[in-house]
Structure 1
Amino acid sequence: MRTPHGPPTRPTCWRRRGLTRLELVTEAVRAALEETACTADHLLANLVDEEWGRR
């Protein structure tokens, strides 16, 4: 698909697929951090300070 004044654009379905991939990556990172917090919270303790929770 071409726009009247520019390079070809991606079809809408590609943009949706990209968002889906981003959501999958975000969920995977969240799940990994949650599992780490439950099983080895000492690994994360030094990464978070008191102010982080207030943001």
Structure 2
Amino acid sequence: MDERKLYKSPFSTVLWSVAFPGFEQLYNGDYFIGLLIMLWIAAINFGSNLNLSA
């Protein structure tokens, strides 16, 4: 069988990681860790009231 590895740009990986924490892992195929990081970041944001405007 001919299994080819899909090339993933390191630059693109860094951009995903900077824009959305956890998306780097999703982009690389590590779904469990990616979702875990995304939930952790959401919990920190909601718990610290970081996004309140007043």
* TM-score, length basis structure 2: 0.42
From the two aligned structures, give the one with the greater helix fraction.
1
The structure with higher relative contact order (CA 8 Å, sep 6+) is 2
- Rg larger for: 1
* TM-score, length basis structure 1: 0.41
